[in-house]
Amino acid sequence: MEVCTKSRQFAVFRIISIIFLLESIAWKVAESRFIRKEETINFSAISCRKHIALLTDFGGVGDGKTSNTKVFQSAITQLSKYASDGGAQLIVPAGKWLTGSFNLTSNFTLFIDKDAVLLASEDEAEWPALPALPSYGKGRDAPAGRFNSLISGTNLNDVVITGNNGTIDGQGAVWWDKFHKQKLNLTRPYLIETLYCHQVQISNLTLINSPSWNVHPTYSSNVLIMGLTILAPVDSPNTDGINPDSSSNVRIEDSYIISGDDCVAVKSGWDEYGIKVGLPTEHLVIRRLTCISPDSATIALGSEMSGGIQDVRAEDITAINTQSGVRIKTARGRGGYVKDIYVRRLTMSTMKYVFWMTGSYGSHPDPGFDPQALPKIANINYRDMIAENVTYSARLEGLKEDPFTGICVSNVKINLTQKPEELQWNCTDIAGVSSRVTPKPCALLPEKDIDCPFSEERLPIEDVQLKTCSVKY
Ligand SMILES: *[C@@H]1O[C@H](CO)[C@@H](O)[C@H](O)[C@H]1NC(C)=O
Ligand SMILES: *[C@@H]1O[C@H](CO)[C@@H](O)[C@H](O)[C@H]1NC(C)=O
Ligand SMILES: *[C@@H]1O[C@H](CO)[C@@H](O)[C@H](O)[C@H]1NC(C)=O
Ligand SMILES: *[C@@H]1O[C@H](CO)[C@@H](O)[C@H](O)[C@H]1NC(C)=O
Ligand SMILES: *[C@@H]1O[C@H](CO)[C@@H](O)[C@H](O)[C@H]1NC(C)=O
Ligand SMILES: *[C@@H]1O[C@H](CO)[C@@H](O)[C@H](O)[C@H]1NC(C)=O
Ligand SMILES: *[C@@H]1O[C@H](CO)[C@@H](O)[C@H](O)[C@H]1NC(C)=O
Ligand SMILES: *[C@@H]1O[C@H](CO)[C@@H](O)[C@H](O)[C@H]1NC(C)=O
Ligand SMILES: *[C@@H]1O[C@H](CO)[C@@H](O)[C@H](O)[C@H]1NC(C)=O
């Protein structure tokens, strides 16, 4: 699709004051004649937009020092007028763009060019305070609430955050320091969050040094996450990669994550708050991921899972120097469930645990949780994996009054470190079967000649086709 950039920019300018309009055009002409030649960018997205604008059209300054928070917000507010007329795309061109939190709009694309860096402000005043999420009840770092995320969307339809590998730098060090010194009155911000959004794409970006979690789709559906490079120091606190939370039809693929916490953490709310909201994460596909996380999991399910987690398919994943492969974390008081989990073709090297489940994770929002609210963990399937340099093959710990059932492990070859632990399969309060697994699993997973199932029925999110968008600017 060939796009006539100029006429589209005129359309955008109509909503800006006439003086600013003339100045911008003069500047743009001058720029394209004397500063740089026009570029065409091609990229894939769920939707292409009719109206195209640059952050500089709205007065953005890419010097790494000037705050652009108001510029982003006013650009997006003005472009939101095109939601019902083919939508709009805001291009962040080359430069360093300092900004605090801002909100997206519907039928909208934020495009971060390859030499563009969004620098997250270190100033708390640039981050509006919000109440805790309803399914969490309390903030995770501090009970009062939380800072809005850097790039945030609420109640939107059709929103794309992409780029040809442009960067979002969370400048997290100042936040990690406040976290360690317990100087936070609110929970740290995330880099990208969608709440109650439908048709979401987050792709082809590099996210570095997030203050906390990187990507947090919540109460959302039809979410595509692809081509992300997520980097944070391995000792940075809670820098989870991608956290689908109370969301359905989510596809996460082709991403590379090094972080201080779980590479992917699947969640659905915390104790009595999550039970009350009751929104599960379901119909989730995770594939072609590389993960390095020495103190956390490749894929964690929980620990906040009170709205339930079901129908998760994970495949073709590589983990290196990571604490565990798949980890299920839950506790008395969570309620909810983790069921119908299918994982295959994980390749792991230098792992403390290949498999880990725990029913006594603890960590409660407040003393108001109901200890009788027991989580149901069932139908967990692991197959076709190899692992080397492993310390413990598995630690599978259910709850005495609430055993974890339907665990199946087949065709898994685990090679141990030079000094492996003696008890390779430490199982309590679980039930299931195993087949062709070395070292030999515990007696609670007796040998049965089967292949563990993997759900082969395709999800609608797997068939979403992207369009090629071509934009000249
Ligand atoms: C973008 O795509 C158009 C055709 O859709 C093609 O002519 C052009 O060469 C492509 N540009 C780049 C930079 O790939
Ligand atoms: C992301 O980038 C890759 C490689 O540059 C490209 O093949 C792919 O189409 C892009 N994906 C999207 C969603 O833009
Ligand atoms: C977004 O675009 C779709 C399709 O054109 C349209 O139906 C919808 O009303 C638009 N959304 C808004 C908020 O205008
Ligand atoms: C951004 O969204 C949050 C959450 O919905 C809202 O509280 C805040 O007022 C919005 N900010 C702006 C500038 O619209
Ligand atoms: C994107 O940038 C990151 C960081 O520079 C780099 O590691 C990664 O390979 C790049 N991805 C692509 C597809 O070019
Ligand atoms: C944060 O809490 C501390 C006490 O822990 C207080 O001194 C400070 O004023 C609070 N800051 C804000 C911005 O509310
Ligand atoms: C595991 O060890 C065996 C024997 O030492 C070796 O043949 C095999 O290649 C190793 N497998 C992996 C995945 O490292
Ligand atoms: C094997 O794992 C140990 C930790 O258990 C680590 O120190 C060592 O470097 C790993 N070896 C290789 C070859 O990766
Ligand atoms: C086995 O697991 C139980 C429960 O998780 C734990 O208390 C115990 O220390 C473990 N035993 C060994 C030898 O690792």
130 Cβ closer than 6 Å to some ligand 4 atom: yes
CA of 114 to the centre of ligand 5 (A): 10
Amino acid 37: pLDDT: 59
Work out which ligand 2 atom sits closest to the CA atom of 466.
13
Q: 196, 203, 102: which is closest to 161 by C-alpha?
A: 203
- pLDDT at residue 6 above 70? no
The CA 50 to ligand 8 mean position distance, Å, reads 53
384 is catalytic: no
355/430 Cα distance (integer angstroms): 13
135-179 pLDDT, tens digit per residue, is 999 999 998 999 999 999 999 999 999 999 999 999 999 999 999
pLDDT of 198 > 90? The answer is yes
Q: Which structure tokens are listed for 465?
A: 């086709």
Name which residue sits closest to atom 8 of ligand 7, judged by CA. Answer: 415
**pLDDT tens, position by position, 65-96:** 999 999 999 999 999 999 999 999 999 999 99
- Give mean pLDDT, residues 221-225: 98
Average pLDDT of the residues in 229-240:
98
| DSSP sequence for 177-219 | HHHHTT--SSBPPPSEEEES-EEEEEEEEEEE--SS-SEEEES
Reported as a single tens digit per residue, the pLDDT across 429-464 is: 999 999 999 999 999 999 999 999 999 899 999 999
Pocket of ligand 2 (CB under 6 A): 43-44, 162, 203-204, 226-227, 466
How confident is the model over 369-388, as a mean pLDDT?
A: 98
pLDDT of residue 28 exceeding 70: no
Give residue 425 CA to ligand 9 midpoint distance, Å.
Answer: 10
pLDDT above 70 for 277:
yes
Question: Considering every ligand atom, which ligand is closest to the CA of 422?
Answer: 9
Q: 41 in ligand 7 pocket by Cβ < 6 Å?
A: no
Tell which atom from ligand 9 comes closest to the C-alpha of 422: 13
Residues 6+ away with beta carbon under 8 Å from 408:
380, 381, 382, 383, 432, 433, 434, 450, 452, 453
Of 34-38, 71-75, 337-341, 469-473, the one with minimum mean pLDDT is: 34-38
What pLDDT is attached to residue 464?
A: 97
Q: Which of 4-13, 105-114, 153-162 has the lowest mean pLDDT?
A: 4-13
DSSP string for 106-147: SSEEEEE-TTEEEEEPS-GGGS-EEPPPTTTSS-SSSTT-EE
Please identify, by atom number, the ligand 8 atom nearest to the C-alpha of residue 352. 5
Nearest alpha carbon, ligand 5 atom 6: 229
| Average pLDDT of span 343-366 | 97
Ligand 3 atom nearest 158 alpha carbon: 1
> Cα–Cα distance between 46 and 406 in angstroms, integer?
38
Q: Which of 240, 261, 311, 384 is catalytic?
A: 261
CB within 8 Å of 179: residues ≥ 6 apart = 141, 188, 237, 238
